[in-house]
Structures are given as C-alpha cells and as structure tokens.
Copies of this chain bind each other. A is one copy, B any other.
C-alpha cells in the first residue's frame, strides 16, 4: 500500500494504473461503514484508492472541524488489511492553496435537509469531491447511504458537469442496536449512545407505518416526532419524508420515498435515513 501526500505524486501513480479504479473518499477515523465501501470497491475494481482528508470547507464556522476525530495510523492499518493500493492524505495547503477561489455549487437539491441546516456544507462537499475526482480519475466512486442527500448531490453534479464517473451508494452499516456507524459517534457518552438509538427507532416506525398502508407523510412525521420527543436527550433538527430521487418533501407517499432525520443527542448532531418500501 502506497501512501502519498501530494497531487503530483498521486497523478504519477494513477497514470501507471491500467484497468478500473475504485475510489473511496473519506474524512478518516474509519469505521465499519467506510470499510464496507472499501470492500465493495476492492471486489469491483483492479485498483482501489482511498483518500483521507478532513475537508475544512464543508464545515460551518460553528461546527466541529477542529474537534473532528483523527487517527491516521489506525486508519492506514485498517486500509492495509483491506488490500487498498493507494491512500491519498493531502494537506490543507495541497488542496486549498492561498489563491484558491473556485467552487462547485449544486442548486435545488442542496436547499433542503442538510443543506438548509448546514449552509455552505454541500458547496464544500461538491468542490472537494470534484477536486478529488479530477486528481484520482476513478472509474467508480463509493459513498455511504447514511449520507443519502450527499449521494444525490454527487450524482447530480457528476451528471451535470459530465464527470463520467459511476457513483455507487453502499447501504448503511449499523451496530447491533441499529445505531448507524458514524465517526461522530465517538462524541457520545454511554448514556447518549443509548439515547441515539431513537433515530433508528423513529425510522423503523416510519417504515412500519408506510408498510402498513399509511400514505399521509404528515401523519408519519408526527408519529416520528412524538416518539423522539419521549427521549429527553434528543432534540429534533428536522424530520423528512421526501421523494427518494429529488428529496422534495411529500404530502402523499405516492412514489419511492426516503425517511430521513437529523437529531441532536446532547451536543452531537446525528443524521440517519431509511427508504420507505
């Protein structure tokens, strides 16, 4: 496994690769969710490249950029065990030199949910992913369904800017209680971790109601909200029942829909989602 820090180095290595290249962009502090992406990339491609970069431009000024957990040596060990070929670990100066001033803006789908709660977040995501795609030039890139809106944004951007890369969405990995794997779970105290299961419970309730024939999205949101409000440590940011493709909120569930939510557990903001089938 080769570890490189600069863009010229990874470009040189990339040029030597033939066959398909699977790419997994990450912010490090890897968990089973990331490793599921890497495993799928490993199965489907001749070579696998992983990036580890905590991208400052996708964090708001009051968000947890400085506190975001980092543990590079452990990450590299995990990636070595998965048979990754190249790990790209750029510095901030390498990605954003002082004169940097170009941005990728995806409109519409970014105005809702995470985009509404985190202004500028998806601009940072779209910009860094465009940069990484242009540097790595993968055949396929792998993203976790836990960040469902992110996947929709990246797919829109790839189509609009003709990036010519196949986006693969990999199902969310959960612990035995249903809590979705997230690097931010490290922020949770044992009591908060127990409380955080409420996200999965609310999504499961939404799916059960939908499967039971409930078509009124408002009623499902209401029941999810009531359930979460019973958890004293939880504070709802948003609850959404939306068109699974466009993420526009639904009144009537008359097409494939996605239930998603953002909830603060203590000071930690968690997101999760589940398709309603």
Contacts and interface: CB of A to CB of B under 8 A. Distances in A.
Interface in A154-173: 156-157, 160-164
A102 B104 contact: yes
Interface string A126-152: 110011001100000000000000000
A134 B162 contact: yes
Contact of A104 (B103, B135, B156, B164): B103
A269 B100 CA distance: 31
Contact residues on A (Cβ < 8 Å of other chain), bracket: 20 to 34
Contacts of A160: 100-102, 131
Contacts of A127: 161
Q: How many copies does the complex hold?
A: 2
27 contacts: A11-B164, A100-B160, A101-B106, A101-B108, A101-B109, A101-B160, A102-B104, A102-B106, A102-B107, A102-B126, A102-B157, A102-B160, A103-B105, A103-B106, A104-B104, A104-B105, A105-B105, A127-B161, A130-B161, A131-B160, A131-B161, A131-B162, A134-B161, A134-B162, A134-B163, A134-B164, A135-B162
Interface of A: 7, 11, 99-109, 126-127, 130-131, 134-135, 156-157, 160-164
